[in-house]
Structure 1
Amino acid sequence: MAVEPLFATRAQRAFMFTVCFQAIVVLAMVGITFRMVEDNVNFDTPRYKTLPCYLALFALAEIFELLLAFDALRLRNIIQLLGILLFHLALMIFAALQVHQTRTALVTLPHCDGRDDFVSCGGPGTLWKRVEPFLIVAPCVIAASWLMILFWIKQLYGEFGWAIFHVVGANPKMKTMYQWYQIMICLLKFDFFAFTGVTMQLLIVVLQINSAEFGVTIAAIPVVLVLLMLCGIAVQREIKWIMSISLVMMLAAMSYSNEIPARQQVLYKLVRFYQPSSRDQYETTRATLTVFTVVAFLLLFATFAVGLRCFADFDRGLQASKVNALPTRPKITTGASQNMTESQLSYLGGAPVAHRISIE
């Protein structure tokens, strides 16, 4: 028995179709909302920047999820499929938060209707009432697709169970080490998304283009990307000195990422979101910035902890499996034992396999 080729099974095709379909529907809802608001407000006004931020984040999130889903199927990575399940749940929460944040941005006069003020009122006939249904549809679609994705991942779990055995064999210790390696690679991918999400929100909503902090934030994106890639290479190739530097950089990032500029002393960004002197600056994006910042920190902490675990597994015989694991697996073969490869026979202890008899 061997692993099915990419998209050869119903579960694989249905899983990818579900992810693609929900991405198209959700982006359509977000795009319609953005266009309706754009026709009536000036996005240069700070309180209205939550909508372009919402659109940019969801576009990034859906593209990221599509690439992650394809990569998980290509690599037969169960860990990454479970990560997608959690990521999808986070998307649903984010979409639900955006309903509240958009209302906060648009509605400043709640007790009036569209006859008094089309943009700022919250009653019947207002801009808010027009965009509200599209905002509500997004988390509903994501929730429905999450249930479907959960069903298909259960199917894929059984299908891909052979993949790890195909790569590392039947040794339980090797299987455990390989699973920790898969968790590490998956965490590095989510680290990049979380960092990019926080950075994008700060660039769109908070920071001024002509400020020094804006330039530093832009410059940090390729630096962090390179560091995450080097960490991935280090854990795959078991390069100890690069892995050591990566772990030290993670510690430094956890210390730095929760600090605001030095001119305001060592205070945490989360405090800055809520303290009276700066809370107005974050009014319409405070909820998502808080969630993204907390999640980014927790992901980085988890990556550091798992990185230590993977570092402890270096030079224990797993490198060849990590480097030589092929993303494309052989197709299922049929026939007697003479058609099987030597490696497959070794899994069966070299015992011949009798011809399969079918009853018509």
Structure 2
Amino acid sequence: MFKPKTALEWSLLAVTSVQALVVTVCNIIILISYLHWVNPVVYQVPLSYNIPMCLTTSALGCIFQVFLTLDSFRIKNTVQLVALCIANVFLTIAIGLQYHTSKASVGRILINTDMYGFPFAQAEIPFWANSAPTLIVCIVVACVCTSAMVGLAYGLHIEFAWALYKNVSPDMKMRNRYLVYQIYLVLLRFTFLFAVLLILLFDLVEVHYREPEFSLTMGVIPLTLLHAIASAFCVQRETKLGMAVIITLQLALLAFLSRCLKQLLKIGFVQSVTMQNETVLFALVALFFAAATLVVAVLCVCNFGKGLRPILRAGVDVRRENGNAWYKAAMTKDEEEEERERGAKRDGRYYSLTSSCGGRSMGCRFELD
């Protein structure tokens, strides 16, 4: 895994790591208390999955943010920094919603029993009194970390923008094409994240093991992961046939997410949804990222054959040594020659000549209008 170098990179990693650590530890504590509080009969109803799934999705989202932060340092992606902040805002909202969902679920569990009158939970255990402060801590930490991430990302985008200029090309059109490619990769990552969070909530709480819908919906998770990997592979190699298949699958994902959202908002179904707010939030966010991914995928295909492929396949390895950045591009000879020709065309208006003066060689550079 890439190791951060600058103070800003270490600070951003520390913020996301603290958020993930605090939220995960607090959620584990609440989950352990929950398992001791409820009776086994509660697992007969979907209501029993509300609190565990709230805790699981928020912890997974925060942990995923840590890995995306490290990945941002590796690829020097300013777009991913912005997406990290936006995603953390949505995760903070979800963490806030889980407080109200948990409170409502506790009230329903306490008053319900099974068909034989056996209670769902042990009323003598003050579960909510012990868990509510912990949930509030998670909300406060998430809000503070989101604010800190925005400030740090603003400072880091200057460093990353300079790395993009040095790595790719001073040519504005080429940088714009590379920016579209970066946006596409970022959207793939966050589409996968929120699609997985949606499927976990929708399938385990709402569908609740009803076959064949449960198995078919769970099967979307590995398919979404394979789709993201194949998308990055095809766009990097500018494979038009592969991208045609990728775009078709992206349309299928959009149809699936739209179906989930439609079912969540359907009249008569809303009253039976036990975690409607969180599920609708993840559905809307996943649908937004999926739609944006489709649009940017088309833009990437439009940029095929315009000189970006050697840069994408270069495998630029950005490192720092004694405070100076050096770059290694693993290009083939043909791709290196193509890049050299582009540089010659870009700098064609400059000429260098050497003259002799006093027995010494002196290089002079003139700019021709």
Q: Which residue of 1 aligns with 2:279?
A: 289
Whole-angstrom distance in 2 between the partners of 1:332 and 1:174: 30
Whole-angstrom distance in 2 between the partners of 1:9 and 1:330: 10
The answer on 1:8 being equivalent to 2:5 is yes
Q: After TM superposition, give the deviation of residue 72 of structure 1 in Å.
A: 0.4
The answer on 1:181 being equivalent to 2:198 is no
Q: Which residue of 1 aligns with 2:292?
A: 302
Letter in 1 for 2:61: A
Q: Secondary structure at the match of 1:200?
A: helix
Q: Secondary structure at the match of 1:56?
A: helix
Instruction: Work out the percentage of aligned pairs sharing the same amino acid.
Output: 24
More displaced 10-residue stretch of structure 1: 168-177 or 158-167: 158-167
Question: Residues 80-229 of structure 1: matches in 2 within 5 Å?
Answer: 80-108=80-108, 126-209=126-209, 211-229=211-229
Match of 1:326 among 309, 316, 320: 316
Whole-angstrom distance in 2 between the partners of 1:350 and 1:160: 31
Deviations 1:285-342 (CA, angstroms, capped at 9, x unpaired): 11111111111111111111111111111110011111214243353667xxxxxxxx
Please tell me whether the aligned partners of residues 27 and 59 of structure 2 are also in contact (alpha carbons under 8 angstroms).
Answer: no
Deviations 1:259-285 (CA, angstroms, capped at 9, x unpaired): 36xxxxxx922324xx32x345422x1
TM-score scaled by length of structure 1: 0.81
Q: Secondary structure at the match of 1:203?
A: helix
Q: Secondary structure at the match of 1:238?
A: coil
From the superposition, tell whether residues 78 and 150 of structure 1 become closer, same or farther in structure 2 (CA, over 3 Å).
same
Whole-angstrom distance in 1 between the partners of 2:109 and 2:243: 55
For structure 1, the residue ranges without an aligned partner over 5 or more in a row are 111-116, 261-266, 335-342, 354-360
The answer on 1:54 being equivalent to 2:54 is yes
Post-superposition, which runs of at least 4 consecutive aligned residues in structure 1 deviate over 4 A? 117-121, 345-353
Please tell me whether the aligned partners of residues 11 and 152 of structure 2 are also in contact (alpha carbons under 8 angstroms).
Answer: yes
From the superposition, tell whether residues 239 and 100 of structure 1 become closer, same or farther in structure 2 (CA, over 3 Å).
same
From the superposition, tell whether residues 210 and 295 of structure 1 become closer, same or farther in structure 2 (CA, over 3 Å).
closer
Paired positions, count? 323
Q: Which residue of 1 aligns with 2:336?
A: none
For structure 2, the residue ranges without an aligned partner over 5 or more in a row are 111-118, 325-339, 353-361, 364-369
Q: Which residue of 2 aligns with 1:25?
A: 22
Letter in 2 for 1:29: C
Higher relative contact order (CA 8 A, sep 6+): 1
Letter in 1 for 2:33: M
TM-score scaled by length of structure 2: 0.79
Whole-angstrom distance in 1 between the partners of 2:303 and 2:192: 24
